[in-house]
Amino acid sequence: MGSAHKAAELFALVNPINHARTPEEVERYKVEPYVVAADVYSVTPHVGRGGWTWYTGSAGWMYRAGVEGILGIRKEGAFLVVAPCIPLGWPGFEATVKMASTHYAIRVHTSLDGPDSISGAILDGSHIESANSRVRLPLDGGNHRLSLNLA
């Protein structure tokens, strides 16, 4: 929905490792810190305790939320779409994507003013156009390098 800060905040909230950083948090959470819990209780005496792990596809949903929703990397038909929505304070990111026989090495850089939209895109050394703060790249069996600047 375009709210990078809120997306990252919610992602951090459900990330199980953020509930088990100290021995005290581990004791309160009581479930595996490597499994996404369906519930984190907010009622006494179980405030902060996780529940309902290992029963849904929630880890897959979390992966998709991070990769597709925040990093903005997803497949659309015969194309790879990159439309980053990263929060202020992130310097950018790097990702390696392999879909079928196509490889993309992706590097995203942000300005000090904060990421807003794609201000420049270079694919394999040549400038390419972006539309609506996203680029569409063919899944053509090649090896490619993509660099995006966000401003």
pLDDT in tens, 52-70: 887 767 778 888 888 998 8
Residue position matching structure tokens 């790879």? 80
pLDDT surpasses 80 at 89: yes
**N-to-C CA span, the chain:** 18
Residues pairing with 131 in the sheet: 134
Average pLDDT over residues 68-84: 94
**What's the pLDDT band for 111 if we cut at 50, 70, 90?**
confident
Domains of the chain (ranges plus CATH)? 1-69 (no CATH), 71-150 (2.60.420.10)
Long-range (24+ apart) CB contacts under 8 A made by 111-115 are 111/149, 111/150, 111/151, 113/151, 114/88, 114/89, 115/4, 115/84, 115/85, 115/86, 115/87, 115/88, 115/90, 115/150, 115/151
